[in-house]
Amino acid sequence: MALNLQDLIAQQVGNLAGSVALPANQKNDILNGLSNSILGSLTQTATKAGGLDMIKKLLTGQTNATQSPITALAGTLFKNNVIQKLGLNANLGSTLTGLIPTVFTKLSGLIKDQDGDGDVDINDILITLKGGQKSSGGGILGSILGGILRK
């Protein structure tokens, strides 16, 4: 079964957070919140002018994940929507927020030239995030927004 973007993010979050001691009664909320914050930062960025190019640069490794405004936005969303609401201590919150750049780096490691045109572009990102299945139409803009915004 092909994984969509949300599945890939959740998988990476689960893998990386596995070594962090999380309160058992809040573990699912924390992991879901971290995944949703990362997806939310991509979704919000995709709707901004130049946002798709920012996403491309991040997910192809052209932009360092620790310096990306997308990563910073994910951290802010996580802090505001999860850390504060669940009352997590500062050390745990910092540790979890520190995983965000690594999740983006892991995602960028999955992106390869999928469409055979010799470069890695937004279409390759979409194909990879759809589990290697090429789009069957609808235009590149529809595919981009649909693939990124689909939850």
pLDDT at residue number 144: 45
pLDDT for res 81: 94
Q: How far apart are CA 112 and CA 125, in angstroms?
A: 8
- Does this model's pTM top 0.85? My answer is no
Give me the pLDDT at residue 138, please. Answer: 38
What is the pLDDT at residue 149? 46
DSSP 8-state class, residue 23: -
Residue 128: the pLDDT is: 64
pLDDT at 143: 43
- pLDDT at position 114 is 67
pLDDT in single tens digits along all 151 residues of the chain = 345 677 778 888 888 888 888 999 999 999 999 999 998 998 899 889 999 889 888 988 889 999 999 999 999 999 999 999 999 999 999 999 999 999 999 887 777 666 677 677 777 666 665 655 555 443 334 444 455 544 4
- Asked whether the beta carbons of 114 and 134 are under 8 A apart, the reply is yes
> Would you state the pLDDT for residue 132?
59
Residue in 21, 26, 25, 1 with CA at minimum distance from that of residue 11:
1
